Amino acid sequence: MLPLDGVRILDLTQIQAGPSCTQLLAWLGADVIKIEEPGKGDRTRWEMANKENVDSFYFLVFNSNKSSVTLNLKNEEGISIFNKLLEISDVVIENYAPGRMEEFGLSKEYISKNHPHVVYASIKGFGNDGPNSTLKSYEHVAQAAAGAMSTNGFNEGPPLFTSTGIGDSGSGLHCAIGILAALRQRDLSGQAPSVDISMQDAILNLLRVRFVETFMDGQPVKRSGNSVWGSPKSVFPCKPYGSNDYVTMVITGDAWESILALSGNSDLIGNKLYDSEISRKKQADQVYEIVSEWTKKHTKNEIMDILSDLGIPCSPIKDTVELLNDDHLNQREMVIDVNDPARGSYKAIGCPIKVGNSKINITPPPLLGENTEQILEDLLGFNESKIKSLKKNGII
């Protein structure tokens, strides 16, 4: 049994923000039905594709454990079918541009009135109210609007984009939390509330720790590269000096004296220039040189072995290929092998949420419309003749 067994979600989302949310919920047991436009589907199926007529990895990484139904929502009969699915569902989620759901006749107000048991979840660049709510957004736009880019990079350089998808996947995480809370409230009150997620809000929430300085001095946070709050830089080069041959470590407290001893600088232990965090901040460049001269003599994994044996928090900078081959991640099923009958075998990223002893079986993402006939037959009772007619008329 999985935690969300029995929860059915109609997924109108595409690209990353919404699909990352519904994939998490699907991994936890929800029955996620991805509603896609006939003949097209989620545009990430073909964006960045490296094989003809094969869904791209851009699509695969966000859409496992789902079903796919093709349905034309620009047609009255398509909307009628969608309403029938709403009757037997718990959640509908969308991340269309502002106003699109209203064009379909499926506004939040309509769904709340006609399907009061259904949680309406929405992810937008700037939410569903406020002066910027009509504006469109993408990952880099949201990062700029929420301040993440202003804090990332080096002081002498331009603001930098963060690669980790804090806008898209970050808002997906927030939306998943919101959906779970809304389902709980529905179960308590009998009325399903809506969930309104803004990409800007989600990034701002993740950025809250960077406001500590601004709250203290009223000034914008200065970009400081690999230095945090004025401390010495914390990323050090290693042999053989490749693009990711670096290590990061904690050099505060007792760790500092251990690193001095390891690096052949025991004579500096107790030196007033380096004997406190305040003094080391004043000598940040010299501290960096002391540590980096030592790390340059070793590989990043050698440094990891040395420091971890001493209980000093550290890690080599791991690239994406190293992560796919990481024993720890493989054992925790964060990196898995997927055997996909339609696309072959490939590696994928697993579920980061472990709930009790629940075993999550990650299944391949669906082909476009793969489950349309089955769902219309099993859930709505449509017969073969009806389904053929819907196909002929371009409804499915």
Q: Which residues participate in catalysis according to the annotation?
A: 168
Cis peptide upstream of residue 240 (ω within 30 degrees of 0): yes
Could you give the count of Cα atoms lying within 13 Å of 251 in the half-sphere of its Cβ?
31
Strands of 112-271 (E only): list them.
Answer: 119-124, 195-198, 235-237, 246-249
Burial 137-154 (b: 16+ CB within 10 A, else e): bebebbbbbbbbbbbbbe
Strands of 199-340 (E only): list them.
Answer: 235-237, 246-249, 314-316, 335-340
Burial 59-82 (b: 16+ CB within 10 A, else e): bbbbbbbbbbbbbbbebeebbebb
Tokens 């929420």 — which residue?
146
Could you give the count of Cα atoms lying within 13 Å of 289 in the half-sphere of its Cβ?
5
Q: What gap in Å lies between CA 37 and CA 43, rounded to an integer?
A: 10
Q: What gap in Å lies between CA 20 and CA 205, rounded to an integer?
A: 18
- Largest alpha-carbon pair distance within the chain? 87
Q: What gap in Å lies between CA 200 and CA 380, rounded to an integer?
A: 38
